[in-house]
Structure 1
Amino acid sequence: MRRQLVCVAALAISFGASPASADPFSDLAALPTFYTDATMKTMKPMAGFKKAWFALSKHDRVKMTKACNDPAMGKRHAQFCANVPALGGAD
């Protein structure tokens, strides 16, 4: 019985943790500030991107930098992630 309880608890934790770590870009309300349009298809020029980048908290910049370093995530957000190293990542 105890083994069953441990397995169920581990399963519940794993289901609860996966959506939160799936895409750090999805839970950031500031993400639209990097784009010129509401559909988030056209990135702002580097000056506007830089202003929006440094308006984020250091925690959010670190989270986004780590996501950009992940090959799968970097590919999904290629245009955004191409600008991050130019700004020194999370510094």
Structure 2
Amino acid sequence: MRKKLACVAVLAIAFGANPASANPFTDLAALPTFYTDATMKTMKPMAGFKKAWFALSKHDRAKMTKACDDPAMRKPHVQFCANVLALGGVN
């Protein structure tokens, strides 16, 4: 019985520690607030972007800034990261 419980615990931890969870672009529920459409193709103008940026918690802003500093993470989100970095990662 202990072996079964240990196996279930290991599986639960493995599924909970999904590498995708480290990606703030998929985790952040507020990400759509930076876009004008539901498909997230059209970025809001800088004034709207800035308002959405400061509506985020300090922790989320730091996470997004760190992600935008990574070239691999920045590549699929060029315009978004350009705006983040233009704001200087202001926390």
**Which TM-score applies when normalising by structure 1?**
0.78
Q: How large is the Cα RMSD of the aligned pairs?
A: 2.0
The one-character-per-residue Cα deviations of 1:6-56 (angstroms, maximum 9, x if unpaired) are xxx7xx65x8252321x2111111000000000000000000000000000
Q: Find out whether 1:44 has 2:33 as its counterpart.
A: no
% same residue? 75
**Which TM-score applies when normalising by structure 2?**
0.78
Q: What is residue 30 of structure 1 aligned with on the other side?
A: 30
The one-character-per-residue Cα deviations of 1:44-90 (angstroms, maximum 9, x if unpaired) are 00000000000000000000000001111100111100001221204
Where in structure 1 are there 5+ consecutive unaligned residues? 1-8
Where in structure 2 are there 5+ consecutive unaligned residues? 1-9
Q: What is residue 4 of structure 1 aligned with on the other side?
A: none
Q: What is residue 60 of structure 1 aligned with on the other side?
A: 60
Aligned residues: 81
Q: Find out whether 1:16 has 2:52 as its counterpart.
A: no
Cα distance in 2 for residues equivalent to 1:36 and 1:16: 32
Runs (4+) off by over 4 Å:
none
